[in-house]
Amino acid sequence: MVAPLYTTASGLLFHAGKILVITIGLPARGKTHISRALERYLRWMGVKTQVISLGDYRRKTLGGAQKLPPDYFTLGEKSKETIALRKKTSDGCEKLIWDYFEAGGQVVIYDANNGTKAARQALAEKFDKSGIHVVMLESLCDNKEIIEANIRGVKISSPDYRGWDPDKAVEDYYHRIRDHEKYYETLEETTWPFIRIINVGEKIILNNIQGYLQSRIVFFLMNIHNKFRTIYFARSGQSLIEHSYKADSDLSPAGWEYAERLKEYVLERRAKSLEQRGINPKERKLVIWTSTRRRAHHTAWPFFVSAPQMPQQPAAKSNPPSSDAVPPTSPTLTSTTLPLSPSSSSIKSISSIKSARSSRGSKGPAPLPSQIKVVEKPQMLEINPGIWDGLNPDQAKKYYPEDWDRFVKDPYSFRAPRAESYHDLSVRLEPILIELEREQEDLLIIGHASVIRCLLAYLIGLPASEIPAIEIARGDLLEVVPASYGVHSHAFHFWDGPGRSKDGVADEGDVGGGVKDANNFYENYAEDTKGKRKVATEEYAAVVAEAARVAEVVNAPGH
C-alpha cells in the first residue's frame, strides 16, 4: 500500500482532511463499479473509506421496486407519498454520511445519480460549510455495449427485478434511463473540484484537483475498467531447495509435474468458465504473471513450451541438496525472462525441452504463443525473511525469542532484522495492484504465498491485520471474478503431490486433499502461518453475519 506520508492529530492521513465524493451520472453508467473500486483502493492505502449507496439504502428501507409507487422512478410532478418516500431515503443517506464522518471516517463516496444541478449543489454546500472537501465525480457513457452489459450483469439481478423475465427487466430499466435523461444536467459548474470519467476509463477530465490524496484518487481512476475478466492465483511448484530465500533453486521433479498439472487444470477450468458465458476461449488471451524466481517463472513454462516429464524421485526434505545439484534428466533452464519471441539461446533451451518431452512419449501440444503471454514481475518476489532465512518457526522462536514475541503480537507490521514486514511487502506491491486494475485479459498469477496473500486481501477487501493469516495452499487454484459490488471467488483443488501432502498420500476422509508436508509446504518459513494471530473462519463469519443482521434491523422500515 502507499506508505502514509504523515498523519494529523485527528488520525486522518496525508493532511487531506475529510472528503465527500459525490457521484453523478445516469443509471447504468458504472458509478457503482467505480465507487466500490475506489473504496477498495483507498482502504488499501489505510484511508478510512465508506461507500453510501442511495439505491442500497432505498432497497433496505423501502424494499424492491414492486413495493414503490408507480411514479417513484419518474422525474417531474410526483404524488405527496412519493415525495415523502424520496425525502426519507435521501435524508437517511445524508445522516449515514454525517455519522461516518463523526465516527472518524475520512472519505465517503455517495453513490447516487445526483442528476440535477440544484440537488447536488445543495448537498455540496451543506458539507462544505462543515469543512468537508467536496469532489464531484461524473461518469458519462455513450458506449451501448457497456450500458447493456451493466444492465444485464448488475441492475436486473437486484431485488428490484426479482422474478422478472430478463428481457422485460432490461426494457423496464431502459425506460427508467430514458425518463432520467429528460431532466439530467451534465456537470458544468466549476465551483467544486471535479473528475469526469468517460466510458469507465476511456477518457478523464479534471478540474481543480488539489492535494496528495485527491491526486491519488485521480491516478487510480485513470487505471480502471469494467470489462469482464477472470483472475487466477496459484502457488509456484516445489523447488529443489525449499525454505531458503537466498537459494534461487530450480523446480524439483515433483515441481515440474505440478507445473504440467497446473497448466492442464487452468486451461480446462478457464475454457469451461468462458463457454458457460458464451465466450470462445480461443478468442481470448491469457496473461501469466510470475516473479523472477526460477521456481515461479519455470512453473509457467508448460504454458509456453511443452516441459519434459521428470522421473519420479523423492522430494528433498531434511537434507536438501546443494544449490548446484540438478537432476541429470532435468533441462538446462535459466532465470532469464520468458520471451514471446525467443532469442537464439532461449530457442536452444526450448528445443531441448520439446525433444526431451517427445522422446518420453508425452501427449498434448502446448498452446500457441499468441494465445498466452508470460511476464516476469520483479516486485512479486516473496517476503524477505532476513535473519530468519532457513529457520522454521520453532527455531526462530528459540534463537530470537524477543523478535518472535514482537512478531506474534503484530505479524503484519513487525520487521525482523534485515527482513521485510508484510507492510513493506504491501508497499512494494502497489504498482502490481495498479497493473492488476489495468489488465483487461484473463490473468493467471503464479506466485509465492506472501504475495498472493496481499493481492487477495486487496481484491476481497480484507483488513491488513488479516493478511499474514491467509493460508495459500500449494495445489489450490483460486479464481476471482471482479464485479460491480465486489468480487466472486472460488477455490479449486487440483494437486496432492509432494510439496502439498506428505509423500503425496492423502489420509482417508481428508477433505483438504492430503496431509500437509511440514518440510515442503512453504518456500520459506517467513511465509508460514504458524504462530500468527488470526480470527477463526467460523468466528469471523459469525461476526460478519451478526453485523449484517443488525444493519438490516436498523435500516428496516419503521425502525
Domains and CATH numbers, the chain: 19-222 (3.40.50.300), 231-306+370-545 (3.40.50.1240)
Cα–Cα distance, 184 to 189 (Å, whole number): 14
CA distances from 139 to 195, 313, 450 (A): 9, 58, 36
Helix (H, G, I), strand (E, B), or coil: what is residue 521? coil
Q: How buried is residue 206: exposed, middle or buried, by Cβ count under 10 Å (0-12/13-18/19+)?
A: middle
The pTM for the full model equals 0.78
Question: Who contacts 90 (Cβ-Cβ below 8 Å, separation ≥6)?
Answer: 54
Per-residue confidence in pLDDT tens, the chain, 559 aa: 565 555 566 678 888 999 999 999 998 888 988 999 999 999 988 899 999 999 888 888 887 766 777 777 766 677 888 888 888 999 999 999 999 999 999 999 999 999 889 999 999 999 999 999 999 999 999 888 888 888 876 666 666 677 788 788 888 888 888 888 888 899 988 899 999 999 888 899 999 999 999 999 999 999 998 888 999 999 999 999 888 888 888 999 999 999 999 999 999 999 999 998 888 888 899 999 999 999 999 999 999 875 344 444 444 443 443 333 333 333 333 333 343 333 333 333 334 444 444 443 444 444 445 689 999 999 999 999 999 988 888 888 899 999 999 998 888 999 999 999 999 999 999 999 999 999 999 999 999 999 999 999 999 888 888 888 888 889 999 999 987 777 888 999 998 887 665 444 443 333 334 445 555 556 676 777 665 544 433 433 443 444 444 334 333 333 3
Whole-number CA gyration radius for the chain: 26
Query: Which strand (E) or helix (H) includes residue 489?
Result: strand 486-493
State how far the Cα of 41 lies from the Cα of 433, in Å rounded to an integer. 9
In sequence order, what are the beta bridge partners of 108? 20, 50
C-alpha cell at 523: 518456500
pLDDT for residue 379: 95
pLDDT at 350: 38
Q: What is the pLDDT of residue 261?
A: 95
**pLDDT value at residue 557:** 37
Which conformational region is residue 3 in: left (phi greater than 0), alpha (psi within -120 to 50 degrees), or beta?
A: beta
Contact present, 383 and 468 (Cβ < 8 Å): no
On whether the CB atoms of residues 335 and 323 are closer than 8 A, the answer is no
pLDDT of residue 547: 40
Task: For residues 72 and 87, give the distance between their C-alpha atoms in angstroms, rounded to a whole number.
Answer: 11
Burial 323-361 (b: 16+ CB within 10 A, else e): eeeebeebbebeeeebeeebeeebeebbeebbebbeeee
Instruction: Say what the pLDDT of residue 130 is.
Output: 94
Ramachandran category for residue 255: left, alpha or beta (phi over 0 → left; psi -120 to 50 → alpha): alpha
Helix 537-555 vs helix 54-62: crossing angle, to nearest 10: 70
> What is the structure's pLDDT at 518?
54
Residue 482 parent element (H or E): strand 476-483
In which residue are the cell numbers 428501507 written? 61
pLDDT at residue number 85: 87
Supply the DSSP symbol for 291: -
pLDDT at 517: 55
